[in-house]
């Protein structure tokens, strides 16, 4: 059988780094083929070459046996290749049909499009109505809109980039059903992920990338998750383990915290209450966009609330700002690495200074101390960077994440608030971040970890609460929580 798409020795280099080196891969009709690798392994670059976003330096591709070199995504699409990106490009205020019309290469009237959308939606059980507004849809439904947009181009090859990162467990199962149906129709699917269990359940074959090279080709069903992880990372990493926790007194008490956002399409917080003890990690599960960012800002002090709605160590701190809270020992690490947790165009030294506590010097900065602090973070958290003078934007996601988390942990927070601690980070970096958070809690400090990654919360949290539609569920012991229980809460059916 001829492969649908065949890559031969594709190489792409950027100044200072070879992103892909002589990568070969055969994608057969009717298979789901995983491309597995850490962040920075070259997965994205490879997909961009196939989708025509970048052109390879060396090597060649053939599509159904004939030479293929797409100059743009448009020409890739016209050759039957479609891609569902990790981040959706949908306009919230517009309907499904309008959004799809905007993304088509050929102009089509909404009236002609509506029946087509209905047909595709029914054929694959997608349950999307053309007239629905995007703002009203869940992340899973939005993804299905993107899939419809792709399917309308009747592609032979579908590329999915980290498709489950924003989905609740039930929605993941649903996505898999759709993908299996497409495979059975003879379509080829390239599935990019670093989630090992998913790949073992779903994919027929896997190509494993490390450092821009193919390190192995396996049938994932025959491999254990640990074996796959080892191929992906190169060395066995021990997953963080929770010791027997000793809890102290209640450090943080949040009571009836409410916030109404100025933008009505955003979700605020309504009557959020919970408490965290010393030595405890509270996991806040839920899909981003359900008030996660608001909860983070309310705890970090970026947004103020009524004085007694947040009590820390018995003191009302709702009205104190970021600096007051940092002095009291509440440090926060934001989700968005570039632009919120760090300034992209500033050096690591300057970024180390960004949230450093200052007590002396009348506001004069001591750059040599800041440099020392940056070096300390780089060393302690094994941040791979040429030097502390490197700009934050030049670091890979995982390394920058280690740096921004390390910056706060190095200052020994009494309460550490972190939003998506390992979002988009490779497995090795994620493991080291998680064990650092566990160590912090083990030394008697409190942690609030907001995360969409359930596996992560099961690994580190003592108790798990779910934030859905701006409301928080009663925290349950992590030992008693199951993905199914949490999934129901995440979907917002009960609070």
Partner 1 sequence: MIKIVKRPEPSSLAALMAPIIAIGITLIGCALLFLLLGKDPFTSVKALFWDPLFDPQIASFSRPQLLVKAAPIILIALGLSVGFQAGIWNIGAEGQYITGAIAATAVGLAFWGSDSIWVFPIMGLAGVLGGVAYAMVPAILRVQFGANEILVSLMLVYVAINLLAAMVTGPMKNPLAFGFPETRSFRDFPAAYNTEILDNSGLHYGVIATLLIVAIAYIVQTRHLFGFQVRVMGLAPKAARLSGVIPERMVVICFAISGGLAGLAGFFEVTGPAGKLTTEFGSGYGFTAIIVAFLGRLNPLGIVLAGLVLALTIIGGEIAQLTLNIPAAAVLVIQGMVLFFLLAADLFVRYRIKLSSKVAA
Question: Where do contacts with partner 1 occur on this chain (CB under 8 A)?
Answer: 14-15, 69-72, 74-75, 300-302, 321-323, 326, 332, 334, 336, 338-346, 350, 353-355, 358, 363-365, 367
Supply the minimum distance, in Å, between the C-beta of residue 15 and partner 1: 5
Supply the minimum distance, in Å, between the C-beta of residue 139 and partner 1: 22
DSSP class per residue in 291-354: SHHHHHHHHHTSS---GGGEEETTEE-TT--HHHHHHHTEEEE-S-TBTTTB-TTSBHHHHHHH
Supply the minimum distance, in Å, between the C-beta of residue 394 and partner 1: 8
**Spatial distance between the Cα atoms of 254 and 274, rounded to a whole number of angstroms:** 5
Residue 204 dihedral angles phi and psi, to the nearest 5°? -80, -40
DSSP class per residue in 111-132: HHHHHHHHHHHHHTT----TT-
Supply the minimum distance, in Å, between the C-beta of residue 340 and partner 1: 4
Supply the minimum distance, in Å, between the C-beta of residue 323 and partner 1: 4
CB 252 within 8 A of CB 246: no
Residue placing its CB nearer to partner 1 in the complex, 129 or 358: 358
**Spatial distance between the Cα atoms of 131 and 98, rounded to a whole number of angstroms:** 8
Supply the minimum distance, in Å, between the C-beta of residue 72 and partner 1: 5
Residue placing its CB nearer to partner 1 in the complex, 222 or 359: 359
Residue placing its CB nearer to partner 1 in the complex, 30 or 289: 289
Residue placing its CB nearer to partner 1 in the complex, 326 or 434: 326
219: tokens are 């049938």
Supply the minimum distance, in Å, between the C-beta of residue 221 and partner 1: 38
Supply the minimum distance, in Å, between the C-beta of residue 447 and partner 1: 18
**Spatial distance between the Cα atoms of 102 and 304, rounded to a whole number of angstroms:** 40
CB 255 within 8 A of CB 311: yes
**Spatial distance between the Cα atoms of 174 and 143, rounded to a whole number of angstroms:** 11
Q: Which of 215, 174, 182, 176 is nearest to 197 (CA)?
A: 176
Q: Count how many Cα atoms sit within 13 Å of the Cα of residue 177 in the half-sphere of its side chain.
A: 11
What are the residues whose beta carbons fall under 8 Å from the beta carbon of 461, sequence distance 6 or more?
Answer: 281, 282, 283, 449, 478
Residue placing its CB nearer to partner 1 in the complex, 213 or 340: 340
Residue placing its CB nearer to partner 1 in the complex, 98 or 302: 302
Supply the minimum distance, in Å, between the C-beta of residue 467 and partner 1: 20
Supply the minimum distance, in Å, between the C-beta of residue 87 and partner 1: 18
DSSP class per residue in 398-423: HHHHHHHHHHHHTT--SEEEEESTTT
Residue placing its CB nearer to partner 1 in the complex, 97 or 400: 400
Supply the minimum distance, in Å, between the C-beta of residue 67 and partner 1: 11
Residue placing its CB nearer to partner 1 in the complex, 151 or 332: 332
Residue placing its CB nearer to partner 1 in the complex, 70 or 80: 70
Residue placing its CB nearer to partner 1 in the complex, 118 or 358: 358
Residue placing its CB nearer to partner 1 in the complex, 44 or 223: 44
Residue placing its CB nearer to partner 1 in the complex, 208 or 334: 334
Assign 208 to helix, strand or coil. strand
CB 149 within 8 A of CB 116: no
| CA 124 remoteness from chain centre | 26
Cα 386 to Cα 12, 102, 236, 372, 399: the distances in Å are 22, 43, 25, 15, 12
**Spatial distance between the Cα atoms of 213 and 377, rounded to a whole number of angstroms:** 30
Supply the minimum distance, in Å, between the C-beta of residue 364 and partner 1: 6
Neighbours of 485 (CB within 10 A): 15
Q: Which of 401, 387, 280, 407 is nearest to 331 (CA)?
A: 407
**Spatial distance between the Cα atoms of 319 and 316, rounded to a whole number of angstroms:** 8
Angle at 232 between CA 159 and CA 53, to 5 degrees: 30
Cα 23 to Cα 7, 20, 31, 60: the distances in Å are 7, 7, 19, 10
């Amino acid at each position: 059988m001829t492969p649908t798409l065949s890559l031969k020795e594709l190489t792409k280099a950027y100044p200072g780094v070879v992103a892909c080196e002589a990568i070969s891969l055969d994608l057969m009709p009717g298979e789901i083929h995983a491309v597995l690798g850490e962040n920075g392994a070259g997965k994205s670059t490879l997909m961009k070459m196939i989708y025509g976003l970048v052109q390879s330096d060396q090597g060649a591709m053939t599509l159904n046996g004939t030479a293929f070199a797409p100059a743009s995504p448009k020409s890739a699409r016209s050759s039957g290749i479609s891609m569902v990106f990790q981040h959706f490009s949908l306009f919230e205020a517009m309907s499904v049909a309008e959004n799809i019309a905007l993304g088509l290469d050929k102009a089509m009237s909404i009236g002609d499009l509506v029946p087509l959308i209905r047909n595709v939606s029914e054929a694959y059980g997608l349950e999307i109505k053309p007239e629905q507004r995007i703002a009203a849809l869940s992340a899973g439904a939005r993804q299905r809109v993107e899939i419809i947009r792709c399917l309308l181009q009747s592609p032979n090859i579908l590329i999915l980039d980290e498709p489950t990162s924003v989905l609740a467990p039930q929605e993941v199962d649903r996505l898999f059903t759709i993908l299996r149906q497409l495979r059975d129709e003879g379509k080829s699917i390239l599935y990019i992920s670093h989630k090992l269990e998913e790949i073992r359940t779903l994919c027929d074959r896997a190509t494993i990338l490390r450092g821009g090279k193919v390190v192995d080709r396996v049938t994932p069903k025959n491999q254990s998750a640990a074996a796959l992880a080892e191929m992906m990372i190169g060395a066995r990493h021990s997953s963080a383990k929770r010791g027997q926790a000793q809890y102290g007194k209640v450090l943080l008490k949040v009571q009836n915290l409410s916030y109404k956002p100025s933008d009505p399409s955003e979700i605020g917080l309504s009557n959020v209450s919970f408490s965290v003890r010393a030595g405890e990690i509270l996991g806040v599960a839920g899909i981003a966009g359900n008030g996660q960012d608001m909860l983070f800002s309310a705890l970090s002090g970026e947004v103020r609330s009524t004085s007694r709605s947040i009590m820390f160590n018995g003191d009302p701190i709702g009205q104190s700002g970021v600096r007051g809270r940092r002095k009291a020992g509440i440090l926060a690490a934001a989700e968005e690495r570039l632009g919120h947790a760090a300034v992209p165009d500033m050096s690591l030294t300057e970024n180390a200074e960004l949230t450093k506590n200052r007590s002396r010097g009348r506001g004069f900065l001591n750059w040599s101390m800041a440099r020392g602090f940056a070096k300390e973070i780089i060393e302690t958290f094994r941040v791979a960077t040429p030097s502390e003078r490197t700009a934050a934007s030049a670091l890979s996601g995982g390394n920058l994440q280690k740096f921004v988390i390390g910056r706060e942990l190095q200052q020994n927070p009494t309460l550490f608030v972190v939003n998506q601690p390992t979002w988009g980070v490779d497995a090795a970096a994620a493991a080291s971040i998680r064990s650092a958070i566990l160590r912090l809690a083990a030394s008697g400090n409190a942690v609030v970890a907001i995360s969409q990654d359930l596996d992560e919360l099961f690994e580190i949290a003592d108790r798990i609460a779910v934030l859905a539609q701006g409301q928080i569920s009663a925290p349950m012991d992590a030992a008693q929580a199951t993905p199914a229980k949490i999934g129901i809460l995440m979907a917002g059916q009960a609070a």
